[in-house]
Amino acid sequence: MLDIRFVRENPDLVKENIKKKFQEAKLPLVDEVIDLDARLRAAIQEANDLRANRNALSKQIGMLMGQAKKDPSKAAEAEAVKAQVTAQANRLKELEAMETQLQEELTKKMMVIPQMIDPSVPIGPDDSCNVEVQRFGEPVVPDYPVPYHTEIMESFDGIDLDAAGRVSGNGFYYLLGDIARLHEAVIAYARDFMIDKGFTYCIPPFMIRGNVVTGVMSFAEMEAMMYKIEGEDLYLIGTSEHSMIGRFIDQMIPESKLPQTLTSYSPCFRKEKGAHGIEERGVYRIHQFEKQEMVVVCKPEESMDWYEKMWRYSVELFRSMEIPVRQLECCSGDLADLKVKSCDIEAWSPRQQKYFEVCSCSNLGDAQARRLKMRVKGEDGKTYLPHTLNNTVVAPPRMLIAFLENHLQADGSVTIPAVLQPYMGGTQVLVPKKK
């Protein structure tokens, strides 16, 4: 959410930003919020004037009532002033109700206007215009066929989608044996990887209140992603970023405590409404998965440096597991409304002979901080809004697709890279139970 003063003083820049995001239908919102803001400020000013005048009139009434003891004509004058105070009190009540209504309308519209994107963001209407920046590791296409990822898992008796379908429906899974252990090994390695980078490990709440949801994401994202608990003001988290940033709602953070660098584990729950569909056979797009996340709360002038560090951590992690990846810069039309800048880290799929998303790194500027009323108190005593960033460390089981395909051998076995072997009891190779 933008600062209303910025919108008021820079309407043309805000409209140009909306056009860059290919959201022309939102252009009228700029003039609407400017009008609402003007009406709100006028109501506030009139109310303040009435309050000041009421104090003066109250003193006048007291004086006139004192004089009425000697001069009866002053009593009538006092009654006239009392009537004036009553009329002003009624008008003040109207103005206070008007303030509440105007503020609600203004906030609702402001929350739909997208954040100002960084000048470096490529311009384009959708993800087809995302730009490859660089590759890390050499993508390899083996001279033997690479089966679909669930077929690889099934060769290890490592997945049961049929039972999951009977129990929960499409978009769920049972992981078993070596595949389940590999899943947890990746999570544990990612946790320790981020701790070694100086991040504080955290296990957050897996449900959050509605005011946190609207504080951390746009309405469109909320509708497409979040599961609501019936009869409760609680939502299942779609990613631990939501509860991690929500931790700072309504908080004044001492500047000496910045940056906050946190890495969190959680299950994630997503409706995937409007997505590309739930695969009946696969585990790429699912309703439930686990994730290790990284979150940073920092000074505004440091956020772009952290953005650079964070996506590079993802690259380093995947390369340590011998998986080729690339960085893809997200274009303007592919950015969620709260994001200033974002990139995806995509892993190589030998089976598909293309890259697919495994991490998403985002700088949200001060958008979440403003919505959540987060503040930082500087050493000079002044307060300001921090910037927030988030990035996927690793999100199996999707990441397992890249892992299994890139480590699959011609005989159906799967090699375990050195960094994961301590988390797999020293195992160097997984041998299939059936072919």
Sign of the alpha-carbon dihedral angle for 229, 295, 285, 395: negative
* Structure confidence by residue, pLDDT tens digits, 45-71: 999 888 877 766 665 555 655 555 555
Considering only residues 96 and 72, tell me which one the structure prediction assigns the higher pLDDT.
Answer: 96
DSSP one-letter string for 26-69 = GHHHHHHHHHHHHHHHHHHHHHHHHHHHHHHHHHHHHHHHHHHT
Mean per-residue pLDDT, 105-117: 95
Q: What's the token pair of residue 203?
A: 């296990």
* Structure confidence by residue, pLDDT tens digits, 177-232: 999 999 999 999 999 999 999 999 999 999 999 999 999 988 777 777 889 999 99
Cα gap 271→287, rounded to integer Å: 6
Q: How confident is the model at residue 422 (pLDDT cuts 50, 70, 90)?
A: very high
Q: Helix H segments across 297-397?
A: 303-320, 367-372
Place of tokens 């544990």: 188
Report the percentage of the chain scoring pLDDT > 70.
91
Q: How confident is the model at residue 149 (pLDDT cuts 50, 70, 90)?
A: very high
In this structure, what are the phi and psi dihedrals at residue 213, rounded to the nearest 5 degrees?
-55, -50
pLDDT of 393 higher than 90 = yes
Q: What's the token pair of residue 195?
A: 């701790």
Mean per-residue pLDDT, 353-382: 95
Place of tokens 């004509």: 73
Considering only residues 278 and 428, tell me which one the structure prediction assigns the higher pLDDT.
Answer: 428
pLDDT of 407 higher than 80 = yes
Q: How confident is the model at residue 86 (pLDDT cuts 50, 70, 90)?
A: confident
The crossing angle, in degrees rounded to 10, of helices 11-20 and 27-68 is 150
Considering only residues 34 and 67, tell me which one the structure prediction assigns the higher pLDDT.
Answer: 34
Mean per-residue pLDDT, 368-397: 95
Tell me the average pLDDT of the chain: 91
Q: How confident is the model at residue 435 (pLDDT cuts 50, 70, 90)?
A: low
CB 411, CB 431: distance < 8 Å: no
Mean per-residue pLDDT, 263-273: 88
Q: How confident is the model at residue 397 (pLDDT cuts 50, 70, 90)?
A: confident
Cα gap 389→310, rounded to integer Å: 9
Q: What's the token pair of residue 88?
A: 């002003």
Mean per-residue pLDDT, 255-268: 96
pLDDT of 104 higher than 70 = yes
Cα gap 241→262, rounded to integer Å: 10
Per-residue pLDDT at 277: 46
Mean per-residue pLDDT, 410-419: 97
Per-residue pLDDT at 65: 57
Q: Which residue type occupies 196?
A: D
Taking each continuous run of H as one helix and of E as one strand, the counts in the chain are 13, 18
Say if residue 95 is exposed, middle or buried (CB neighbours under 10 Å; 0-12, 13-18, 19+): buried
Q: How many CA atoms lie within 13 A of 243 on its CB side?
A: 23
Task: Enumerate domains of the chain plus CATH numbers.
Answer: 4-110 (1.10.287.40), 127-430 (3.30.930.10)
Say if residue 299 is exposed, middle or buried (CB neighbours under 10 Å; 0-12, 13-18, 19+): middle
Min mean pLDDT across 12-21, 92-101, 123-132, 250-259 is at 92-101
Mean per-residue pLDDT, 420-434: 95
pLDDT of 278 higher than 50 = no
Residue 267 DSSP class? E
DSSP one-letter string for 118-159 = PTTSPP-SSGGG-EEEEEES-----SS----HHHHHHHTT-E
Per-residue pLDDT at 274: 47
Mean per-residue pLDDT, 400-422: 97
Q: What is the pTM of this model?
A: 0.89
Per-residue pLDDT at 273: 55
Per-residue pLDDT at 56: 65
